[in-house]
């Protein structure tokens, strides 16, 4: 929780006359000079120490409107809509703007926006920050932290397989995000998959779209309907049973195994082609033994990690907290492995323009 600064510490300064006053104004009528932010909601001191020209966005309670942003390019497309790279005209900061079509009543929409705001007011460095949300012309737009190296889906499209040391480093970060969601916020993500694990040039990995699958389901008229891929769904969930935090662990295990072997672990038998239909997938997930890492290609620690995640009985699956202490994660902890080097050696994410 951000603590309010005592009023006594406010320093008012007249802006320098060398710069026209309009330079301090954003399209929403927000005025800012140094640490002073002034708009229709009132005046606020945003940072006591910071006097930099580009204020740290984390430090601010941002008051955005759509007019404050200029579109740079389209960076992705999902089932709910388009993701654009945008620049804040005043701050110069880049954000990802995700638009989601919503055909729902005003009251439900307000409730969802409220939920998104609460859910995504994240204090965890491994969950993508949602700074703001707008509703405009049937679209909800989310102003998200921009992750400049795209998603894990983009990475595995290029490298085909990811080596164990990198997987351990990547997985540790995702587990830290899951520990925050599961143990601190007491919520299930519900849609862990490669395209929702985002990466930046520093090699930071963050979980995105937390709360978004619930929002899309609402827009389809039913809170419990799932919108998206069923590929990573745990057996208890795809078969319509009750599920908990452990369903995210199943999904994580499948994602990590996919990165290691270079293909989605559930696939057609040799003489059939194409992806599995929903019913084939359902049958494989529910009826067949769970996929595992081949022990002749991977370390015992990795094989054990995968089988600690991909257990059909959720009670047999480890929790995110337990997995953080798994020998596979521990093995590479002090090896100084830089995921930033891997991502910067790849082509930038696909430009949809
Ligand atoms: P689905 O909509 O089926 O869940 P998805 O996760 O790929 O699929 P989106 O969440 O709309 O769909 O994202 C589309 C793509 O946009 C992602 O794969 C990613 O490459 C890019 N993207 C999304 N959010 C961000 C972000 N915050 N920063 C950078 N790129 C992003
Ligand atoms: Mg997504």
Encode pLDDT of 198-255 as tens digits: 999 999 999 998 766 555 555 555 445 555 689 999 999 999 999 999 999 999 999 9
Lowest mean pLDDT segment, chosen from 37-51, 126-140, 254-268, 310-324: 37-51
pLDDT for res 227: 59
* 27 has a pLDDT exceeding 50: no
With left for phi above 0 and alpha for psi between -120 and 50, is residue 274 left, alpha or beta?
left
* 276 has a pLDDT exceeding 50: yes
129 confidence band (pLDDT: 50, 70, 90): confident
β-pairing, 205-207 with 130-136? unpaired
* 54 has a pLDDT exceeding 80: no
Ligand 1 touching residue 204 (CB < 6 A):
no
Question: Mean pLDDT: which of 203-217, 290-304, 332-346 is highest?
Answer: 290-304
pTM over the 0.85 mark: no
The helix/strand/coil state of 77 is strand
* 312 has a pLDDT exceeding 90: yes
* 41 has a pLDDT exceeding 60: no
| Placement of tokens 């990475």 in the chain | 155
Tokens (6 digits) for 143: 């102003």
Residue/partner pairs of 163-166 with CB below 8 Å, 24 or more apart: 164/260, 164/298, 164/299, 164/302, 164/328, 164/332, 165/332, 165/335, 165/337, 166/337, 166/339, 166/342
pLDDT for res 35: 43
Ligand 1 touching residue 206 (CB < 6 A):
no
pLDDT for res 225: 54
* 18 has a pLDDT exceeding 90: no
Nearest CA owner, ligand 1 atom 31: 150
Ligand 1 touching residue 128 (CB < 6 A):
yes
Lowest mean pLDDT segment, chosen from 49-53, 65-69, 96-100: 49-53
* 352 has a pLDDT exceeding 60: no
Lowest mean pLDDT segment, chosen from 199-203, 273-277, 304-308: 273-277
Nearest CA owner, ligand 1 atom 12: 78
* 197 has a pLDDT exceeding 50: yes
- What is the DSSP secondary structure assignment for residue 127, as one 8-state letter? B
Q: Which residue from 342, 351, 293, 352 is spatially nearest to 158, judged by alpha carbons?
A: 342
Helix axes 300-309, 246-261, angle to 10 degrees: 140
* 1 has a pLDDT exceeding 70: no
Separation of CA 317 and ligand 1 centre (Å) = 28
Average pLDDT over residues 70-86: 89
Nearest CA owner, ligand 1 atom 22: 76
Atom of ligand 1 nearest to the CA of 153: 18
The burial of 31, by beta-carbon neighbours within 10 Å (0-12 exposed, 13-18 middle, 19 or more buried), is given as middle
Which of 156, 194, 195, 204 is the best mutation target for the ligand 1 pocket, counting ligand atoms within 8 Å of the beta carbon and taking the most?
195
Lowest mean pLDDT segment, chosen from 117-126, 190-199, 333-342: 117-126
98 is in an annotated binding site: yes
| Placement of tokens 């992705």 in the chain | 76
* 14 has a pLDDT exceeding 60: no
Share of the chain above pLDDT 70, in %: 69
pLDDT for res 118: 54
Share of the chain above pLDDT 90, in %: 44
Active-site residue, selected from the candidate residues 35, 68, 191, 209? 191
- Alpha-helix residue ranges (DSSP H) falling in 93-240: 106-120, 152-159, 164-179, 212-219, 235-238
Which of 69, 76, 147, 348 is the best mutation target for the ligand 1 pocket, counting ligand atoms within 8 Å of the beta carbon and taking the most?
76
Lowest mean pLDDT segment, chosen from 93-97, 102-106, 145-149, 318-322: 102-106
Average pLDDT over residues 18-29: 43
* 58 has a pLDDT exceeding 60: no
Ligand 1 touching residue 231 (CB < 6 A):
no
pLDDT for res 114: 60
The gap from C-alpha 139 to its chain's centroid, in whole angstroms, comes to 20
* 184 has a pLDDT exceeding 70: yes
Average pLDDT over residues 298-307: 98
Sheet hosting strand 139-145, strand order edge to edge: 69-77, 82-88, 94-101, 139-145, 130-136
Bridge partners (DSSP) of residue 82 are 77
> What is the distance between the alpha carbons of residues 317 and 302, in angstroms, rounded to a whole number?
15
53 confidence band (pLDDT: 50, 70, 90): very low
Active-site residue flag, 35: no
8 A C-beta contact, residue 234 and residue 250: yes
Ligand 1 touching residue 281 (CB < 6 A):
no
């Amino acid at each position: 929780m951000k603590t309010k600064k005592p009023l006594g510490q406010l320093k008012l300064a007249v802006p320098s006359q060398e710069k026209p006053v309009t330079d301090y104004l954003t399209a929403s009528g927000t005025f800012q000079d140094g640490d002073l932010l002034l708009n229709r909601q009132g005046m606020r001191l945003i940072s006591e120490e910071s006097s930099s020209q580009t204020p740290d966005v984390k430090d601010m309670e941002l008051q955005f409107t759509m007019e404050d942003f200029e579109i740079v390019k389209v960076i992705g497309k999902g089932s709910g809509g388009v993701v654009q790279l945008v620049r804040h005209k005043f701050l110069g900061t880049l954000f990802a703007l995700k638009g989601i079509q919503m055909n729902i009543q005003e009251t439900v929409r307000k409730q969802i926006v409220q939920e998104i705001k609460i859910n995504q007011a994240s204090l965890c460095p491994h969950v993508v920050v949602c700074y703001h949300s707008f509703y405009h012309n049937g679209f909800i737009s989310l102003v998200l932290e921009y992750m400049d190296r795209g998603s894990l889906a983009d990475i595995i499209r290029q490298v085909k397989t990811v080596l164990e040391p990198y997987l351990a480093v990547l997985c540790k970060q995702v587990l830290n995000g899951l520990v925050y969601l599961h143990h601190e916020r007491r919520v299930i993500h519900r849609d862990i998959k490669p395209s929702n694990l985002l990466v930046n040039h520093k090699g930071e990995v963050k979980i995105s779209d937390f709360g978004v699958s619930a929002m899309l389901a609402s827009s389809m008229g039913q809170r419990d309907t799932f919108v998206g891929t069923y590929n990573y769904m745990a057996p208890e969930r795809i078969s319509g049973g009750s599920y908990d935090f452990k369903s995210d662990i199943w999904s994580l295990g499948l994602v990590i195994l996919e990165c290691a072997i270079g293909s989605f672990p559930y696939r057609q038998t040799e003489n059939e082609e194409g992806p599995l239909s929903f019913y084939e997938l359902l049958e494989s997930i529910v009826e067949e033994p769970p996929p595992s890492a081949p022990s002749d290609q991977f370390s015992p620690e990795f094989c054990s990690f995968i089988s600690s995640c991909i257990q059909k009985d959720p009670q047999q699956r480890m929790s995110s907290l337990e997995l953080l202490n798994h020998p596979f994660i521990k093995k590479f902890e002090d090896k100084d492995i830089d995921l930033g080097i891997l991502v910067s050696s790849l082509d930038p994410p696909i430009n949809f323009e």
